[in-house]
Amino acid sequence: MTYNQLSEPIRKFLYDKGWKQLRPIQIAAIERILSTDFNYILLSCTSSGKTEAAFLPILSKVDFNERGVQILYISPLIALINDQFLRIEELCKYLDINVTKWHGEANRTLKENILKHPNGIILITPESLEALFVNNPRSLNTLFSDLKYVIVDEIHSFIGTDRGVQLKSIISRLQKNQSKRFIIVGLSATISDFDEAKRFTGNELNTKVLVDRTKKKITAHFRFFEQEEEELTDELLEDIYFQTRNSKVLIFPNSRSRAEEMAVKLFKLSEKEKGHRNYFSHHSSVDREIREYVEYFAKNSIRQNYSIACTSTLELGIDIGSVDEVVQIDSTSSVTSLIQRVGRSGRNDGASSNLFLYATNGWQLLQSLACWELYIEGFIEPPQISNYSYDILLHQTLSIVKGQNGIKIKDLRLQLSENYSFNQIDISEIDEIISYLIEINLLEKLRQEIIIGLEGERVVNSHEFYSVFVDEKFYKVFNNGIPIGSIPLSPMITINKKIFLAARIWKILSIDNQAKRINVEKAIEGEKPRYYGSVSDVHAKVRSRMLEILKSNTKYEVLDNKCQIEIDSMRNDFLEFRLNDIEIDRPILSFNKKTQVYTFTSSKINRTINLLFQKINARQDYDETKSMFEFASANHNGLEKWGLISNELNNIDSYLDETLRENKELISFSKWGIFLPQKFQVKLIKEKLLDIPGTTKFINNVRFNGNF
């Protein structure tokens, strides 16, 4: 029996908690982890007990009497660390094991204590682990001299991202510091590429994936409220209010600005209707203490209903208790994101997930339906893997040199070439990047040793050095000295302006540009602040399914009458096109001296096509939502332009090089790419923003059908 394989203190914990049975992923993990030394990826739906699936057998297996930290838990979010700390600490009390949070907001005294007496378990973010390498390299050997397990939570959020490349590099460096191999266990609800997940551990052959394919019952409801203006319509807000007023609900509006608008306007509606007052916003620009209060309120509100308008901050596995309903405003950009958000409701055993998908225009409705269908079929977007992360290699080069207070060139080359995050990068390219860093004074060469250069000191000594994502510049907002959140300074942020923030309305009293501080007081009317951020890419499979829906005559049970009427209306617009093969046939439409070319392909391919149009000076507008290029002339103009761009793919490098010389904003998506030699910036843009092979295949195979 699996239960009997666990240690006696763990069995007592399960008994005291009243666990009647273990869940499938827990049974599988206990049996495998206790009996083998493989790395494991544990894959099962949200709230299926993955955390316990990892910790129950590991805590039973590890001897915590040995010196040093035995388990390192790595999380993408500080909030998730704080949440998991309570669960793990409760479990570890039965074994008298010390659990320590280690991040920028954690108690400094507790961190200093574990440096003096390393033991137990550390919960940490990648950035804080990076800071240890840079500022306390000697402590690494003390802390992790006999590390047994590294647990990576929400591992899917790292795979295929710059932050994931950084984490892989850090784990690789950590493993090199150890005399013995530690075991890696990854936890996720959404992974499509098992091989890539295995590669994340650095030892693909020694990594196994355990999958629980049990699915939750999901009840989906689609709603359609067309709007022309930027502000949400009263009809949509009222529908959401009356649908959710007696529930515990999360609302995902896809942006911080929309989250604030939703929270404030639903709160005002509730006041008018004499409903509850528990309307909140939760996103990265809301003050940490307010976010933590919202999470605490939700988790402990057994009898009170609430509504939280949130972004991806509540998409990952923070435990906020039982959520009755999830509302999605307009389509998610990916099936993966939809899966994560759906999983936030119906967390009690046997409970179904309730999902309401609202669309504000036909194209958002179409994409929502496409994502929903693909979700039901089990499709998950594969990660966008970058094998040539020159920018993260540059960052890790600076980290290694700073952490070791100087290093011999041959040793630096060896460390970088052996790091499994960069094993696709040629040693000659590593040499070229190192030489360039010396040239621009980020590094300095002293005989055969490399140290941090004068310019490099400024860079590595900044608190922003430890992260690889671009840091947003915000002003902190205070009311009577109490922090509320932060907003970007924009032309709309002026004295006496009234704004939404943290689900309430505020009037700006003063702006201190030197301190980057805004003081506010409560107000009655206002508007949402404008946040700036990149929109996530859409996979070609989603766009292809959108076209397939337009081509079909299927009636969908999940759609209400208004939704079905809108889908049928869009279908009528495309009736005249002969789209026999979804893979290659695409519509091209001419009317009113305009030509519209619909690609129905991925964002990266569309971005590449758009760049090619710019190269030939083609005057056109691109609409990402519709996956459509529009030209200001009719007849065959669009087709002529396609013929021209197909010849330009071979010259894309020279065009990017030329464009970069005139506009460095092209590389601004990469925090560390700006320090690379320009030839590597070009490679980075092609690797991370564009899809040259996919575009080549698309252009060569596409077959347009028009109304000429």
Confidence of residue 251 (pLDDT cuts 50, 70, 90): very high
Sign of CA dihedral 30, 32, 35, 39: negative
Q: Which residues contact 617 (CB under 8 A, 6 or more apart)?
A: none
Residue 493: CA atoms inside 13 Å, Cβ hemisphere, count?
23
User: Angle 335-342/362-377 helices, nearest 10 degrees?
Assistant: 80
Give helix then strand counts, H and E, for the chain: 26, 26
Confidence of residue 421 (pLDDT cuts 50, 70, 90): very high
User: Angle 427-439/390-403 helices, nearest 10 degrees?
Assistant: 60
| C-alpha–C-alpha distance, residues 103 and 114, integer Å | 13
Residue 543 is assigned to a structural domain of this protein: no
For residue 620, the one-letter residue type is Q
Neighbours of 84 (CB within 10 A): 23
Domain end among 167, 191, 211? 211
Average pLDDT of the segment spanning 370-388: 92
Top-ranked range on mean pLDDT: pick from 186-195, 363-372, 511-520: 363-372
Confidence (pTM): 0.92
Residue 590 corresponds to which tokens in the numbers above?
């001419």
Residues 60 and 179 in one domain: yes
435: domain CATH number is 1.10.10.10
**CB of 366 within 8 A of CB of 567?**
yes
Residue 648 corresponds to which tokens in the numbers above?
């330009």
Confidence of residue 649 (pLDDT cuts 50, 70, 90): confident
**CB of 222 within 8 A of CB of 558?**
yes
| C-alpha–C-alpha distance, residues 650 and 217, integer Å | 49
- Edge-to-edge strands of the sheet including 407-408? 407-408, 449-452, 443-446
Beta bridge partners of 589: 596
Residues 228 and 352 in one domain: yes
Integer-rounded Cα radius of gyration of the chain: 27
For residue 675, the one-letter residue type is F
Average pLDDT of the segment spanning 680-701: 94
Pairing relationship of beta strands 628-631 and 620-623 according to DSSP bridges: antiparallel
Domain end among 159, 177, 211? 211
Q: Is the pLDDT of residue 350 over 60?
A: no
Residues 602 and 517 in one domain: no
Distance of CA 559 to the CA centre of its chain: 29
Pairing relationship of beta strands 248-252 and 306-310 according to DSSP bridges: parallel
Residues 203 and 224 in one domain: no
Confidence of residue 312 (pLDDT cuts 50, 70, 90): confident
Residues 309 and 426 in one domain: no
Beta bridge partners of 587: 705
Residue 644 is assigned to a structural domain of this protein: yes
pLDDT of residue 708: 56
pLDDT of residue 707: 64
Residue 364 is assigned to a structural domain of this protein: yes
281: domain CATH number is 3.40.50.300
What is the end-to-end Cα distance of the chain in Å, rounded?
A: 71
Q: Where are the beta strands (DSSP E) in 481-601?
A: 482-487, 498-501, 504-512, 517-522, 585-591, 594-598
Residue 634 is assigned to a structural domain of this protein: yes
Distance of CA 160 to the CA centre of its chain: 10
Q: Is the pLDDT of residue 237 over 70?
A: yes
Beta bridge partners of 5: none
Lowest-pLDDT range of 74-83, 116-125, 181-190, 372-381: 74-83
| C-alpha–C-alpha distance, residues 391 and 384, integer Å | 16
Residue 339 is assigned to a structural domain of this protein: yes
Sign of CA dihedral 149, 150, 154, 158: negative
**Measuring CA to CA, which residue among 11, 85, 17, 23 is closest to residue 48?**
23
Residue 693 gets which letter from DSSP?
H
| C-alpha–C-alpha distance, residues 114 and 134, integer Å | 18
Residues 82 and 163 in one domain: yes
Confidence of residue 317 (pLDDT cuts 50, 70, 90): low
Residues 424 and 298 in one domain: no
Pairing relationship of beta strands 449-452 and 407-408 according to DSSP bridges: antiparallel
Residues 341 and 410 in one domain: no
Residues 236 and 300 in one domain: yes
175 SS3 class = helix
Domains of the chain: total = 5
Q: Can you give the residue range of the structural domain that contains 654?
A: 576-706
| C-alpha–C-alpha distance, residues 599 and 610, integer Å | 11
Q: State percent of the chain over pLDDT 90.
A: 66
Residues 371 and 268 in one domain: yes
pLDDT of residue 119: 92
Residue 527 is assigned to a structural domain of this protein: no
Question: Can you say whether residue 372 is alpha, beta or left, with left for phi > 0 and alpha for psi between -120 and 50 degrees?
Answer: alpha
Mean pLDDT of the chain: 91
Residues 330 and 228 in one domain: yes
Residue 547 is assigned to a structural domain of this protein: no
Residue 495 corresponds to which tokens in the numbers above?
């004295």
Q: State percent of the chain over pLDDT 70.
A: 97
Residue 697 is assigned to a structural domain of this protein: yes
pLDDT of residue 216: 74
**CB of 13 within 8 A of CB of 94?**
yes
For residue 674, the one-letter residue type is I
Residues 517 and 611 in one domain: no
Q: Is the pLDDT of residue 461 over 60?
A: yes
Q: Where are the beta strands (DSSP E) in 246-351?
A: 248-252, 279-282, 306-310, 325-329
Confidence of residue 229 (pLDDT cuts 50, 70, 90): confident
